[in-house]
């Protein structure tokens, strides 16, 4: 049998419909036969025993041959690369047809795989048929095969392919590179010194446009390529390690697109990382990934939605998400491939294709583009997509002061309350902490002020409410909101518990004797309607006063019972312990000190009776933090941002096994580095409000 390098066949449709037919009298001489086939064209195969046959019937292949053909993408011009198809067995295979046309150069690669080259075809889905000859039947199995190119992407504005539309005037120097879209945008270069070259066999047998740092192509016709948002992807391969040129740090190498006049917005690569350039008063270059300048062809890309988000990709794997409230593209037009403003920061490497889309490319189209790049250019297989996504629901109203330490809770009515918080700017008539209550009746999309700040509210009667605070405990009991304790900046530290009614309008103090008395920075959580208060410290500025204890109330905080001590050392500063499936989990935390604040990264779970050390403090999976925010939904625990005692972090980590192992969420947490974020798990999403004092956006994390 002939052997070929394996070409992974990305799958789109796996359902099959199989049937058996009488064997033909003879094979069509125009069809390709399989080299070294186990079948003998001069007659039927031996009817004796074989490794895969039936000793009694003499079949040389199982009936229907497994019929598990694995379809993939093909290029409409026939340039989609070899197709490899996996079967139960290749014994007796005589033909593979796509849309009725046989694969060219059909070969048996192994006992279970055949491969061949598809012919040119119109875009769309066609049948794939596997035929295998046996003594009793010719077996066929029909599935689906899709011929596809980037021209089929919704909103595609330009598709440049080094194998198509390149005018090199016969000497290898490129004068023009024409888009293969309906509107043939042309990128050209009049200056011979700045013209890139066309090079053969740079992506397997396919050519590439070779740029050498200073060379570039500029949009020449039409003269404008306006986009409503943008998605820019390129099949690119470094040929040398290239660092950003210091003379123009606002740009990055491989400016696939960008306004060449003022360099507002560019995307490309820098020093072995994908990179994007933003202008929000000054240039900000953001890089993701590393080690990409290793000579391996990759699909790299960026998407921008014109309002808040730029996402970077390697293949179909998102590398991170950067959030800006100002546009990424200043003039919202694009005109350069190969170098940045004034020819600086140029690309040093090969480009096989460039795809520019007006708007944010859909997940379906992005997935197909990634599969197409794998098959056509040999780019690496991408990791499976994370089903979770992060979206921006909007911003808090203008009269809401950015703050940290506010806490959300959902009532039985569905209303969400956002309670308290801290700001260094004394926005509340001299108070840095507040007891404002904001409300949302549409799952966190819009908010309104329900109860205004009151620095000294009465403890009973009309207007009674908890005092201002941002380190108090907020929980839920029997569909009502609970506020426990008093703020560490508002001594004395009281043992108060307040319960809400009237959809957040009315508050009643139910006890002054909770175990929060004399301590602050404690942690509060729920297991169903049982309230738990844990840890904290008695002196805000002395970490040695941290406590490790656990208390439970089953009557909404009126009475409390102390439980056996937990396995973790004294700590607090957790926003907030996570409740999921009857288990409460503490993630991280810390001890505050005027000199040396301590941060932890242990993960501990509690089922109401027994504590389990899921991850001990000091593990290496993520950096120790306090005032990180945690929430859980649909089997996944999330960990957002946090403070390391020296700096704030911008991160979103998740665990799908109860906190034992953690991964980084490519979508990021949203906003900027922060601590004391406000998070809440609803039935269908997790809400997050950044604790940063410059942020006021609400984000939703969901896997629906």
One domain for residues 143 and 155: no
Residue scoring higher pLDDT (53 or 517) = 517
Residue 181 burial by Cβ neighbours in a 10 Å radius (0-12, 13-18, 19+): middle
Q: What CA–CA distance (Å, rounded) separates 351 from 345?
A: 16
One domain for residues 249 and 109: no
One domain for residues 337 and 431: no
Between 47-61, 90-104, 687-701, the lowest mean confidence (pLDDT) is in 47-61
Phi, psi for residue 546 in degrees, rounded to 5:
-65, 145
pLDDT exceeds 60 at position 183 = yes
What pLDDT band is residue 640 in, cutting at 50, 70 and 90?
Answer: very high
Rounded alpha-carbon distances, angstroms, from residue 174 to 207, 256, 568: 13, 16, 66
638 within 8 A of 702, measured Cβ to Cβ: no
One domain for residues 159 and 22: no
One domain for residues 644 and 659: yes
Which of 83, 114, 148 is the last residue in one of the domains? Answer: 148
Residue scoring higher pLDDT (154 or 39) = 154
Between 250-254, 462-466, 489-493, 543-547, the lowest mean confidence (pLDDT) is in 250-254
pLDDT at 539: 96
**What is the residue range of 87's domain?**
17-148
Between 214-228, 267-281, 282-296, 615-629, the lowest mean confidence (pLDDT) is in 267-281
Average pLDDT for 376-399: 91
List the structure tokens of 29. Answer: 């001489």
CATH code at 75?
2.60.40.10
pLDDT exceeds 50 at position 57 = no
Residue whose C-alpha is closest to residue 470's, from 276, 676, 616, 618: 676
pLDDT exceeds 60 at position 329 = no
Name the pTM for this structure.
Answer: 0.78
Residue 93 counted as domain residue = yes
**Buried b / exposed e along 671-686 (16+ C-beta atoms within 10 A):** bebbbbbbbbbbeebb
One domain for residues 133 and 172: no
List the structure tokens of 397. Answer: 């109203």
Residues 6+ positions from 398 with CB-CB distance below 8 Å = none
pLDDT at 51: 32
List the structure tokens of 517. Answer: 């008395």
Which of 109, 128, 148 is the last residue in one of the domains? Answer: 148
312 within 8 A of 274, measured Cβ to Cβ: yes
Place of tokens 């991850």: 615
One domain for residues 275 and 419: no
One domain for residues 243 and 256: yes
What pLDDT band is residue 600 in, cutting at 50, 70 and 90?
Answer: very high
Between 76-90, 240-254, 590-604, the lowest mean confidence (pLDDT) is in 240-254
Residue 394 counted as domain residue = no
Q: What percent of the chain has pLDDT over 70?
A: 80
pLDDT at 486: 96
Residue whose C-alpha is closest to residue 689's, from 640, 638, 634: 640
One domain for residues 172 and 203: yes
Residue scoring higher pLDDT (689 or 57) = 689
Residues 6+ positions from 598 with CB-CB distance below 8 Å = 543, 571, 590, 591, 626, 645
One domain for residues 516 and 603: yes
Cα-to-chain-centroid distance, residue 68? 31
498 within 8 A of 483, measured Cβ to Cβ: yes
CATH code at 635?
2.120.10.80
What pLDDT band is residue 23 in, cutting at 50, 70 and 90?
Answer: very low
196 within 8 A of 209, measured Cβ to Cβ: yes
Which of 90, 124, 148 is the last residue in one of the domains? Answer: 148
List the structure tokens of 610. Answer: 């027994």
Q: Identify the top-confidence range among 34-43, 114-123, 553-562.
A: 553-562
What pLDDT band is residue 280 in, cutting at 50, 70 and 90?
Answer: low
One domain for residues 182 and 247: yes
Residue 503 burial by Cβ neighbours in a 10 Å radius (0-12, 13-18, 19+): middle
What pLDDT band is residue 222 in, cutting at 50, 70 and 90?
Answer: confident
User: Number of structural domains, the chain?
Assistant: 3
| Arithmetic mean of pLDDT over the chain | 82
pLDDT at 26: 29
One domain for residues 220 and 368: yes
pLDDT at 255: 59
């Amino acid at each position: 049998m002939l052997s070929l390098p394996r070409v992974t066949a990305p799958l789109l449709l796996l359902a099959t419909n199989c049937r058996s037919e009488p064997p033909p009298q003879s094979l069509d001489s125009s069809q390709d036969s399989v080299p070294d086939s186990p079948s003998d064209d001069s007659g039927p195969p031996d009817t004796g025993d074989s490794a895969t046959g039936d000793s009694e019937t003499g079949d040389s292949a199982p009936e229907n041959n497994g019929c598990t053909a694995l379809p993939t993408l093909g290029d409409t011009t026939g340039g989609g690369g070899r197709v490899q198809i996996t079967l139960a067995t290749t014994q007796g295979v005589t033909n593979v047809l796509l849309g009725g046309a046989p694969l060219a150069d059909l070969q048996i690669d192994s006992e279970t795989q055949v491969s061949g080259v598809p012919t040119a075809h119109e875009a769309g889905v066609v049948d794939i048929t596997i035929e295998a000859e046996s003594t009793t039947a010719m077996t066929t199995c029909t599935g689906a095969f899709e011929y596809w190119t980037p021209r089929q992407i919704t909103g595609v504005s330009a598709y440049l392919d080094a194998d198509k539309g390149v005018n090199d005037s016969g000497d290898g120097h490129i004068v023009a590179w024409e888009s293969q879209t309906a509107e043939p945008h042309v990128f050209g270069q009049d200056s011979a010194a700045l013209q890139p070259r066309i090079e053969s066999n740079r992506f397997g047998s396919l050519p590439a446009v070779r740029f050498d740092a200073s060379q570039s192509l500029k949009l020449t016709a039409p003269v404008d390529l306006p986009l409503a948002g943008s998605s820019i992807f390129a099949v690119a391969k470094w040929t040398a390690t290239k660092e950003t040129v210091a003379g123009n740090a606002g740009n990055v190498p491989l400016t696939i697109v960008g306004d060449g006049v003022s360099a507002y917005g560019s995307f490309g690569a820098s020093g072995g990382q994908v990179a994007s350039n933003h202008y929000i008063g000054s240039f900000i270059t953001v890089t993701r990934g590393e080690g990409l300048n290793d000579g391996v062809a990759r699909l790299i890309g960026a998407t921008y939605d014109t309002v808040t988000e730029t996402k970077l990709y390697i293949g179909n794997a998102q590398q991170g998400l950067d959030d800006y409230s100002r546009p990424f593209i200043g003039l919202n037009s694009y005109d350069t491939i190969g170098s940045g403003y004034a020819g600086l920061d140029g690309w040093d490497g090969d480009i096989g294709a460039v795809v520019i889309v007006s708007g944010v490319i859909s997940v379906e189209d992005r997935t197909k583009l990634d599969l197409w790049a794998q098959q056509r250019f040999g780019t690496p297989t991408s990791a499976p997509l994370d089903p979770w996504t992060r979206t921006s629901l909007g911003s808090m109203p203008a009269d809401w002061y950015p703050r940290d330490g506010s806490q959300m809770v959902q009532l039985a009515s569905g209303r969400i309350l956002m309670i308290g918080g801290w700001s260094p700017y004394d926005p509340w008539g001299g108070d840095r902490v507040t007891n404002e209550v904001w409300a949302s009746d549409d799952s966190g999309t819009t908010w309104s002020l329900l109860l205004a700040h009151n620095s000294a509210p009465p403890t009973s009667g009309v207007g009674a409410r908890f005092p201002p605070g941002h380190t108090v405990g907020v929980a839920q009991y029997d569909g009502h909101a609970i506020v426990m304790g008093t703020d560490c900046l508002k001594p004395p530290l009281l043992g108060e518990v307040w319960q809400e009614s009237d959809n957040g309008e009315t508050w009643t103090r139910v006890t002054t004797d909770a175990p929060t008395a004399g301590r602050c920075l404690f942690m509060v959580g729920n297991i169903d309607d049982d309230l738990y208060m844990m840890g904290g410290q008695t002196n805000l500025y002395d970490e040695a006063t941290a406590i490790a204890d656990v208390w439970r109330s089953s009557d909404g905080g009126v009475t409390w019972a102390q439980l056996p001590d937990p396995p973790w050392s004294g700590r607090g500063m957790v926003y907030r312990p996570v409740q999921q499936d009857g288990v409460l989990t503490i993630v991280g935390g810390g001890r505050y000190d005027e000199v040396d604040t301590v941060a932890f990264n242990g993960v501990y779970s509690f089922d109401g009776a027994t504590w389990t050390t899921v991850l001990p403090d000091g593990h290496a999976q993520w950096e120790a933090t306090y005032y990180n925010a945690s929430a859980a939904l649909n089997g996944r625990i999330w960990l957002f941002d946090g403070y390391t005692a020296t700096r704030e972090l911008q991160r979103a980590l998740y665990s799908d096994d109860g906190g034992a192992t953690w991964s980084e969420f490519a979508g990021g947490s949203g906003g900027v580095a922060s601590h004391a974020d406000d998070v809440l798990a609803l039935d269908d999403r997790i809400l997050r409000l950044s604790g940063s004092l410059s942020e006021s956006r609400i984000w939703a994390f969901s896997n629906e």
